[in-house]
Amino acid sequence: MNKRDHEQMLEALRDETLVIHADDGVNNEGTVAPAIYYTATFRAQNASEFADMAGTPRHPRYYTRYGNPVHERVARIMAELEGTETALVTGSGMGAIATTLFALVSAGDHVIAQTRHYMSTAKIMDEMLPRFGVEVTLVEQADVAAIAAAIRPHTKLIMVETPANPTLVLTDLAAVVELARPHGIIVVADNTFASPINQRPHDWGVDVVVHSATKYLGGHHDLTAGVICTSKELAEQIWHTHISIGSVLSPMDAWLLLRGLRTLPLRIERINSNAQALAEFLEAQPQIERVYYPGLASHPQHELAKRQMRGFGAVIAFAVKGGYEETQRFVSALKLSLNAVSLGGVDSLVVHTAAMWEGVMSEEQMRTAGIPANFVRFSVGLEHVEDLKADILQALQKI
Ligand SMILES: Cc1ncc(COP(=O)(O)O)c(C=O)c1O
C-alpha cells in the first residue's frame, strides 16, 4: 500500500485498530512483532546516503538520539490517537515537557500556567523559566476569566494540565484555545491524566499535547517515557531542542511502550469502568469525607468533564475522615493497592498525598495546591472491582 492510501485508511479506523496498525510499514521486516533496533547508530550504504541521513531532520535511522525506528512506530500511533500531524518520543514525561517549553519560549516572553501542575512542571514555571528571563503568571485553572486577564502583549505560550494532579481540577480546553488564538499564543496541554482515549486536546484546538507515557501509555509500571504530539512544523522546532537536551528513550523501553500501546484502548475501557464504580462506592462510605472524580455528579466541573472527555480515567482523590495519622493507617492497611507513586498501570497504586510531598513542598505550598493532611490519591488498576472494594472496606475498618 502506498503512503497516501495508508493515510486514507487510517482516517477511517478506530482507536482499537489504530494501536495495532498505525505503525504498519515502518521498517517492515516481515516479522509480526516489531524488531527492536538496539543500536546507538546506523550505517549508511555509501557516502551520499550518509549525507542524506545526516541532513534530514528527524531521520529515524541515523543516530538514536535523533530517532530510531521503534520511536517512529510509537510516534505514528500516538499522532493518530491524538489526531495531530506527527509526534516525538522522549525519555520521560518531564523530558517531553521541558523540551517543549525550552524549544518554544525565549527570554522576554511571557508564559501563563496553572497554580496546580505536576510538581516538576511547577518547578520549571516557578524557578527555571524565570532564571532564563521568561516571565510566568500562574492562574487558577478553573477560572477562565483569570486566564483571559493574564494575557499580555508578549504572552507566547499557555500551559494547561487537565485533569490536574492531584486534585482533578479541569481546565476548559476550548475556552483557553479561544482566548489564545486571536493573539497567536501557543497552547500546550499535558494530557497524562486523561490519555488520548479519554480526551483529545487537539480536537479542541490545542497546539501541542504532551504525555508522561510512563503512565497509561506504557501501562505496566515498567518504563519511563514521554510523547509530544503536534504539527510537523512545531515538531521540527522542538526536535532541534530535543537533540540538544537529549531526553532519549532507549530502544528497549520504546519497544515496551509500543507493546503497552497495543492494549491501551482495552485497558482504559476497563480502568474507566472500575474507577467510576469505585468512586461511587467510596462516596457512599461513612468513613470518607469527600471524593473527587470527574465522573461523579458531585465533581464541581462534571458538566465540563462530560463535554470535554470521553471517559474519566483511573485516578480518584478522596479525603479520609480524620487527619494525617488516620490516613496513614488506612493506606498501610490496604493489601491489593500498592503504596507507590505513578498511575494508569495494571496494578492499583495508592499514595497518601501529604506524605508524598511533605519533603518537597512547604505547608503553604500544599495548602495552595489544595492538599489537606487526609488526602489520598488512588490509581485504579485492572484488578476485579469487587476485590478492590472489599480491600478498601477492610482498610477503612482499621482507621
Ligand atoms: C501530569 C504529569 N505530567 C508529567 C509527569 C512527569 O512524567 P515522568 O515521570 O514520566 O517524567 C507526571 C508524573 O507523575 C505527571 O503526573
Could you say which of 215, 267, 270, 377 is catalytic? Answer: 215
Pocket lining: 90 vs ligand 1, CB cutoff 6 Å: no
Q: Residue 37 carries which side chain, given as an amino acid letter?
A: Y
Query: Could you tell me how many helices (H) and strands (E) the chain has, helices first?
Result: 17, 12
Long-range Cβ contact pairs of 285-289 (< 8 A, separation 24 or more): 285/392, 285/393, 285/396, 286/321, 287/320, 287/321, 287/396, 287/399, 288/318, 288/319, 288/320, 288/321, 288/396, 289/318, 289/319, 289/320, 289/321, 289/374
CA of 147 to the centre of ligand 1 (A): 23
CATH number for the domain spanning 258: value is: 3.40.640.10
Residues 140 and 272 in one domain: no
What range does the domain containing 277 cover? 264-396
Residues 238 and 325 in one domain: no
Residues 295 and 214 in one domain: no
Residue 96 CA: which ligand 1 atom is closest? 11
Contact 137, 111 (CB under 8 A): yes
Residues 76 and 224 in one domain: yes
Contact 372, 166 (CB under 8 A): no
Residue 117 CA: which ligand 1 atom is closest? 1
Estimate the crossing angle of helix 324-333 against helix 385-396, to 10 degrees: 140
Contact 276, 151 (CB under 8 A): no
Closest residue by CA, ligand 1 atom 15: 118
Q: Is 65 a catalytic residue?
A: yes
Final residue of a structural domain among 214, 236, 262: 262
Provide the terminal-to-terminal Cα distance of the chain, rounded to the nearest Å.
Answer: 61
Pocket lining: 214 vs ligand 1, CB cutoff 6 Å: yes
State the DSSP code for 41.
B
3-state secondary structure of 23: coil
Residues 318 and 253 in one domain: no
Residues 327 and 252 in one domain: no
Residues 310 and 374 in one domain: yes
CA of 2 to the centre of ligand 1 (A): 37
Total domains in the fold of the chain:
2
CA of 118 to the centre of ligand 1 (A): 7
**What pLDDT is attached to residue 369?**
67
**Binned average pLDDT, 10 residues per bin, the chain of 399 residues:** 82 95 87 95 98 96 97 98 98 98 98 95 97 98 98 98 91 98 98 98 98 98 98 98 98 98 98 98 97 97 98 97 95 97 98 84 72 93 98 96
Q: How many Cα atoms occupy the beta-carbon half-sphere of 293 within 13 Å?
A: 30
CA of 37 to the centre of ligand 1 (A): 26
Would you state the cell numbers that stand for residue 323, as one nine-digit string? Answer: 487527619
Diameter of the chain measured on Cα atoms: 73
Pocket lining: 188 vs ligand 1, CB cutoff 6 Å: no
Residues 58 and 117 in one domain: yes
**What pLDDT is attached to residue 359?**
74
Q: How far apart are CA 358 and CA 329, in angstroms?
A: 17
Residues 186 and 280 in one domain: no
Q: Any residues with CB less than 8 A from the CB of 310 and at least 6 apart, and which?
A: 197, 198, 199
Residues 255 and 303 in one domain: no
Q: Is 215 a catalytic residue?
A: yes
Final residue of a structural domain among 208, 232, 262: 262
Pocket lining: 94 vs ligand 1, CB cutoff 6 Å: yes
CATH number for the domain spanning 348: value is: 3.90.1150.10
Contact 257, 213 (CB under 8 A): yes
Q: Is 118 a catalytic residue?
A: yes
- Ligand 1 pocket test, pick from 92, 116, 192 with the greatest ligand atom count within 8 Å of Cβ, gives 192
Residues 105 and 12 in one domain: yes
- Ligand 1 pocket test, pick from 124, 159, 195, 214 with the greatest ligand atom count within 8 Å of Cβ, gives 214
- Ligand 1 pocket test, pick from 94, 125, 248 with the greatest ligand atom count within 8 Å of Cβ, gives 94
CA of 25 to the centre of ligand 1 (A): 31
**What pLDDT is attached to residue 385?**
98
Q: How far apart are CA 8 and CA 34, in angstroms?
A: 23
Residues 376 and 341 in one domain: yes
Q: How far apart are CA 356 and CA 367, in angstroms?
A: 14
Final residue of a structural domain among 210, 243, 262: 262
Q: How far apart are CA 280 and CA 122, in angstroms?
A: 31
**What pLDDT is attached to residue 5?**
83
Closest residue by CA, ligand 1 atom 6: 93
Would you state the cell numbers that stand for residue 65, as one nine-digit string? Answer: 538520539
**What pLDDT is attached to residue 310?**
98
Q: Within 10 Å of residue 159's Cβ, how many Cβ atoms? A: 29
3-state secondary structure of 377: strand
Q: Is 190 a catalytic residue?
A: yes
**What pLDDT is attached to residue 364?**
75
